[in-house]
Amino acid sequence: MNYVREAWYVAGWSHELATGMPYAVTILGEPIVIYRGASGRLAALEDRCVHRLAPLSLGRCEGDRLRCMYHGLLFDPDGSVVEIPGQDKIPPQARVRSYPAVERHSWIWIWMGSAQRADEALIPPAVGLDHPDYILGHGHLDYAAEARLINDNLLDFSHLTFVHLQSFQAGPEFAAIPGRITPLERGIRYERWTENSTGPASLKSDELVDRYMSYDFLIPGVLLMTGGVFSPGTAQACGHGIPDLAEADGGVTFTSQAVTPLTARTSRYFFSWGPHRAHGDEAHRDVLMGIAGQAFAEDKVMIEAQQRVIENTANPVIMPTAHDRGVTLFNRLVERLIKEEECARADAA
């Protein structure tokens, strides 16, 4: 698996983790148990007891600690064993890995790199379910496909014209005219103005308008997208740059999406979407979530089929097209960061 390790991966929805209920998740092929202790403290441990490799996620929370329910070893949130039934001395190797874990923007984020380098400033600025400005629906989908293929999908919106013919009804424009791609320090930015148009059939306006949409796609695989509808001439007036969303006539929404590699061939895809309070209500959110549900199912069919073809191809080689600029930039960034991590590890050793 070729993924950045020094990054925050979304492990789940914060509100779905009940206190004292261990939750098992696999990230980058590593089994992890996450639990919220009695004090409210979040912990994420290697989900594998040091004794005989039973999963700690079948264990029992005791205060802020977690007990393996096979032979009773008790673990501190830092991963160290603090009790071995029937034995007084606890050997120093009696510990499992502990992962930095943070709850923010309604998600549980796990740092997969070295704990000393965990930097909360690197958590992507997603919009949480409790954000005062937005009315958001949310969900997740499991993929029988590697995360990179989902990232690639999200980095090239020309697929909207073809894959989402039924759901977004985005029309030929996404494939005909590339968006503007800008490199970011930890990702890429995609921007698109559509001028003097009634827009896609699924989100049609009554009059001719200018539409702006923009997303940042950030390490390790987080898409944050917004946009809005403006009076004709706005695109021109701001030189096709970033408009002030507060000036939008309508249609401002926000979607946060996160792709988490579970194993080499499976992924979990988290998402929320909904209107700005000034431009919609719960009913509008439900319409958007209905469209999203259809669209994400269309992606899943295509990407899982693509995964199966790749698995059955001895030497899978791709042929990038003009629309692949975002894909290529992002994947090069991933390669560079992985190389830097390897160098840092070599230096440390």
Q: Which residues bind a copy of itself (CB under 8 A)?
A: 29, 31, 47-48, 50-55, 58, 67-73, 84-87, 91, 93-94, 152, 156, 158-159, 161-163, 165, 175-178, 301-302, 305-306, 308-310, 312-313, 316, 318-323
Residue 330 beta carbon to a copy of itself: minimum distance, rounded to whole angstroms: 14
Identity of residue 60: R
Q: Which is nearer to a copy of itself, 284 or 323 (CB)?
A: 323
Which tokens sit at 87? Answer: 């034995």
The H or E element containing residue 46 is strand 42-46
- Please list the residues that pair with 163 across neighbouring strands: none
Q: Which is nearer to a copy of itself, 100 or 179 (CB)?
A: 179
Euclidean distance between CA atoms 100 and 88, whole angstroms: 29
Question: Residues 119, 135: contact at Cβ < 8 Å?
Answer: no
Q: Which is nearer to a copy of itself, 38 or 177 (CB)?
A: 177
Residue 254 beta carbon to a copy of itself: minimum distance, rounded to whole angstroms: 26
73 Ramachandran zone, left/alpha/beta (phi>0; psi -120 to 50)? beta
Q: Which is nearer to a copy of itself, 66 or 245 (CB)?
A: 66
Identity of residue 283: A
Residue 184 beta carbon to a copy of itself: minimum distance, rounded to whole angstroms: 22
Residue 55 beta carbon to a copy of itself: minimum distance, rounded to whole angstroms: 5
Q: Which is nearer to a copy of itself, 205 or 294 (CB)?
A: 294
Residue 62 beta carbon to a copy of itself: minimum distance, rounded to whole angstroms: 12
Euclidean distance between CA atoms 112 and 15, whole angstroms: 22
Euclidean distance between CA atoms 262 and 270, whole angstroms: 13
Q: Which is nearer to a copy of itself, 72 or 183 (CB)?
A: 72
Residue 297 beta carbon to a copy of itself: minimum distance, rounded to whole angstroms: 13
First to last CA, the chain: 22
> In Å, what is the CA distance from 39 to each residue of 68, 110, 140, 192?
20, 19, 28, 47
